């Protein structure tokens, strides 16, 4: 037999679902942009990081933890789970930790999805809500937003009227920034078949926590007699994206046990555990971050609207807007000014950009660069 190349062998050996998987668009690093475009300052507004950074307590905790680097971390992350349990009012045994909440999404897909199982999620969506289910060979139904770019509850009820294994959506939604209110949340929960797992991704929970219309998902779900999990993270409001730590609050200990079996045992490293303990202590830092983001978000949204762009009212630390031309092109031009944004690519959203709320300086750099680019485009048209 003629010998095969490695590439051909790989094609044959890999699982078909893995072979055809889409690549998660994790965006460009500031260093890459600095090098490629020769800019000094980079405004990294593509990953929804906290412009105020982490609490200063986190730095102290990390320094204190450094001497423990030779020792394996607690595989049960007990101290952090304890703290999260008491802060959220759920039992310790209902808390599961992930190397970022995205790892919990992966654990859920690994634990529950057989090829052909059906998953219902949102479009436009957080990429991993689609990629992880596809990795397991699941069939995906994507529910769009309505004409006002809000949760289309009637469409959700329709999509949930046939059997489904996992229901996954973020609230508030990434990338749209819309918030599903109490009534809509209750309707979607009521519409979901009994034999499914509800996955509510609350990565931006802290930005809505004080909104009276934001559903108290833990209280609503506690009435349910089926498995559910609420995902939250320390990457966004707490500013720990670089350390990778997120958590899930699950309906019961059985679900946590199941996820524990499919996860890598030491998934949360010592630094992340120490940092999380310190970050969770510093409520004032989170409050200051929320205040700052809400003030800057209002400025960005108002300025974009004045320039005639359609902007979705945002309940999180980013703004989603129709840039009225191919978003990939505009994002590329913004890079030449050192501004990184996230151009959307999903069908129907190829003119939309998601821009994170950054520092005041970076937000202004984004707005000014956008203005310069549109002036150039207008000048070219006039020629
Ligand atoms: C950022 C984000 C996450 C992932 O957060 P990590 O905890 O950093 O993995 C999950 N879901 C949504 C909707 C997000 O926007």
Task: List, as one string, the DSSP characters of 259-273.
Answer: HHHHS-TT-S-HHHH
Three-state secondary-structure class, residue 55: coil
Q: Which residues line ligand 1 (CB under 6 A)?
A: 48, 100-102, 126, 170, 174, 201, 203, 233, 235-236, 241, 246
Question: Which residue bears the tokens 């609230």?
Answer: 171
Ligand 1 pocket mutation, candidates 49, 172, 203, 241, criterion most atoms within 8 A of CB: 203
The predicted model scores a pTM of 0.96
Cβ-count burial 94-130 (b if 16+ within 10 Å, e if not): bbbbbbbbbbbbbbbbbbbbeeebbbbbbbbbbbbbb
CA distance 226 to 248: 16
- Residue 267: asked if its preceding bond is cis (omega within 30°), the reply is no
CB atoms within 10 A of CB 170: 23
Query: Which residues, 6+ apart, have CB-to-CB distance to 177 below 8 Å?
Result: 312, 313, 314, 315, 316, 318, 319, 320
Backbone angles phi, psi at 249, to 5 degrees: -110, 115
Tens-digit pLDDT profile for residues 158-211: 999 999 999 999 999 999 999 999 999 999 999 999 999 999 999 999 999 999
Longest dimension (CA), the chain: 69
> Quick check: 383 pLDDT over 80?
no
Tens-digit pLDDT profile for residues 322-352: 999 999 999 999 999 999 999 999 999 999 9
CA distance 170 to 314: 13
CA distance 208 to 70: 40
Tens-digit pLDDT profile for residues 232-273: 999 999 999 999 999 999 999 999 999 999 999 999 999 999
Ligand 1 pocket mutation, candidates 233, 245, 248, 249, criterion most atoms within 8 A of CB: 233
Q: 98 with 248: CB under 8 angstroms?
A: yes
Tens-digit pLDDT profile for residues 42-75: 999 999 999 999 999 999 999 999 999 999 999 9
Among residues 48, 54, 50, 43, the alpha carbon closest in space to that of 26 is found at 48
Q: What's the rounded mean pLDDT across residues 101-126?
A: 97
């Amino acid at each position: 037999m003629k010998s095969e190349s490695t590439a051909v062998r790989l094609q044959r050996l890999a699982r078909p679902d893995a072979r055809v998987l889409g690549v998660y668009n994790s965006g460009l690093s500031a260093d890459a942009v600095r090098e490629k475009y020769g800019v000094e300052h980079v405004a990294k507004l593509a990953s929804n990081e906290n412009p105020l950074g982490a609490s200063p307590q986190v730095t102290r905790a990390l320094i204190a933890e450094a001497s423990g680097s030779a020792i394996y971390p607690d595989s049960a992350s007990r101290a952090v789970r304890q703290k999260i349990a008491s802060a959220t009012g759920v039992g310790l045994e209902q808390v599961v930790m992930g190397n970022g909440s995205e790892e919990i999404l992966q654990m859920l897909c690994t634990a529950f999805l057989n090829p052909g199982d059906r998953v219902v999620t949102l479009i436009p969506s957080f990429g991993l809500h689609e990629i992880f289910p596809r990795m397991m060979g699941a069939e995906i139904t994507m529910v769009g937003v309505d004409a006002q770019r809000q949760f289309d509850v009637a469409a959700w009820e329709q999509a949930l009227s046939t059997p489904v294994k996992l229901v996954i959506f973020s609230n508030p939604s990434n990338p749209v920034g819309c918030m599903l209110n109490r009534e809509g949340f209750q309707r979607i929960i009521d519409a979901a078949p009994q034999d499914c797992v509800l996955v509510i991704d609350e990565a931006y929970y802290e930005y809505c926590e004080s909104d009276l219309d934001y559903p108290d998902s833990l209280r609503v779900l506690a009435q349910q007699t089926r498995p559910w999990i609420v995902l939250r993270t320390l990457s966004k409001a707490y500013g720990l994206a670089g350390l990778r730590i997120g958590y899930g609050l699950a309906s019961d200990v059985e679900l946590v046990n199941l996820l524990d079996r499919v996860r890598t045992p030491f998934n949360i490293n010592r630094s992340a555990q120490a940092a999380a303990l310190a970050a969770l202590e510093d409520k004032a830092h989170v409050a200051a971050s929320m205040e700052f983001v809400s003030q800057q978000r209002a400025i960005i949204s108002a300025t974009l609207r004045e320039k005639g762009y359609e902007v979705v009212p945002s309940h999180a630390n980013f703004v989603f807007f129709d840039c009225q031309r191919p978003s990939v092109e505009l994002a590329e031009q913004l890079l030449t000014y050192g501004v990184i944004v996230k151009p959307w690519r999903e069908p129907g959203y190829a003119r939309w950009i998601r821009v994170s709320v950054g520092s005041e300086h970076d937000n202004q750099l984004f707005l000014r660069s956008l203005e310069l680019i549109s002036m150039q485009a207008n000048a070219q048209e006039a020629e």
